[in-house]
């Protein structure tokens, strides 16, 4: 997040670490498959895809981190994180149903009552292997991570998304606004439209949204359009003009300007870097 409060992208590279999470100061995004495993303590609560997502202790969650997400509450004392660059995830050749689910912004979550007792040891080993500098250990870790994601997908087929059941009024209003953005970002929407979704005045909406999500409605909307543009660039052969329209940018020139500023490369170069 820059000094003016605008959202910035995080770099995308393979990494693994663990520790005690703290609520994030703002929503962010990165071009990875993010995997969270809550090893100890209580649940974590994310604002993800316009909804509140709860990952319980012992639970495992995987999601496309290009979708704006923010850890808003946590009682976890130890969590393991894995970030797998999205081009590697796509190269795994996973079932199309799983890839489509992830790309649609639906998280894959294994509840605590279906926990794998070997996960704590696995995540610890993967972090050591990925940080070892040994190419063979690195390859072994990646094969095991891929297998774990496959098992996670198989175990959760048909499961509903596990969402937060609490009732914090401020959080609920912000979620109503975030949900409206998630569903309508491809359209020309205004602050008044977003405020109406939460039944509040536009001025109050801007204040309340920034208080909870720690960024502006406009910046949050921009993140969604960028995520959709990335998805279309790596999964379709649409032209830049078609991507701009489909992602809600309104014009090709605006799409190029916003995309290049956020990603550091043009849409065409981004597509080529993914081997497309």
pLDDT tens string 17-50? 899 999 988 888 787 899 999 999 999 999 887 7
The per-residue pLDDT for range 204-213, each reduced to its tens digit, is: 999 988 887 7
Helix (H/G/I), strand (E/B), else coil: 115: coil
Q: Give Cα separations from 102 to 40, 153, 166, 184, 203 (angstroms).
A: 26, 10, 25, 19, 34
- What's the pLDDT score for residue 170? 78
Q: Are residues 111 and 140 in the same domain?
A: yes
**Domain-ending residue, one of 127, 155, 183:** 155
From the number of C-beta atoms within 10 Å of its C-beta (0-12, 13-18, 19+), residue 185 rates as buried
**Residue 235 pLDDT more than 50?**
yes
Residue 6 domain-assigned? no
What per-residue confidence (pLDDT) applies to 37?
Answer: 95
Is residue 81's pLDDT more than 60?
yes
Residue 158: pLDDT band with limits 50, 70, 90:
low
pLDDT band at 200 (very low <50, low <70, confident <90, very high): very high
Residue 77 near residue 124, CB atoms below 8 Å: no
Same domain for 73 and 205, yes or no, is: no
Buried-exposed string 217-240: b where 16+ CB fall within 10 A, e elsewhere: bebbbbbbbbbbbbbbbbeeeeeb
Predicted local distance difference test score (pLDDT) of residue 13: 58
Higher pLDDT among residues 123 and 94, named by residue: 123
pLDDT at 167: 61
Asked whether residue 107 is domain-assigned, the answer is: yes
Q: From 130, 155, 180, give the residue that closes a domain.
A: 155
Let me know whether 184 and 238 are in one domain: yes
Q: Mean per-residue pLDDT for 111-137?
A: 90
Query: Domain span at residue 105?
Result: 15-155
Residue 164 lies in a domain: no
What's the pLDDT score for residue 80? Answer: 95
pLDDT above 60: residue 263: yes
Same domain, 149 and 177: no
pLDDT over threshold 50, residue 8: no
The DSSP-derived string for 130-146 is: HTS--HHHHHHHHHHHH
Q: Does 148 lie in the same domain as 22?
A: yes
């Amino acid at each position: 997040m820059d000094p003016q409060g605008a959202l910035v992208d995080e770099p995308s590279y393979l990494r693994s670490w663990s520790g005690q999470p703290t609520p994030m100061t703002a929503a962010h995004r990165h071009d990875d498959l993010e995997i969270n495993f809550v090893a100890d303590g209580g649940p974590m609560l994310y604002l993800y895809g316009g909804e509140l997502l709860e990952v319980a202790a012992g639970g495992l969650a995987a999601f496309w981190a290009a979708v704006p997400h923010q850890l808003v509450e946590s009682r976890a004392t130890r969590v393991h994180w894995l970030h797998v660059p999205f081009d590697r995830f796509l190269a795994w050749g996973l079932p199309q149903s799983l890839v489509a689910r992830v790309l649609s912004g639906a998280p894959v979550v294994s509840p605590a009552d279906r926990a794998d007792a070997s996960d704590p040891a696995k995540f610890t080993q993967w972090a050591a292997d990925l940080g070892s500098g040994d190419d063979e250990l690195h390859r072994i870790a990646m094969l095991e991570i891929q297998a774990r994601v496959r098992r996670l997908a198989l175990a959760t087929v048909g499961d509903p998304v596990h969402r937060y059941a609490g009732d914090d009024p401020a959080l609920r209003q912000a979620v109503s606004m975030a949900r409206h953005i998630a569903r309508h970002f491809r359209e020309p929407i205004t602050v008044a439209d977003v405020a109406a979704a939460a039944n509040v005045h536009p001025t109050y909406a801007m204040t309340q949204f920034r208080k909870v999500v720690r960024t502006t409605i406009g910046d949050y909307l921009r993140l969604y359009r960028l995520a959709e543009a990335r998805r279309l660039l790596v999964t379709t052969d649409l032209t830049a003009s078609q991507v701009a329209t489909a992602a809600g940018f309104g014009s090709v020139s605006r799409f190029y300007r916003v995309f290049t500023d956020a990603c550091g490369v043009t849409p065409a170069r981004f597509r080529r870097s993914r081997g497309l």
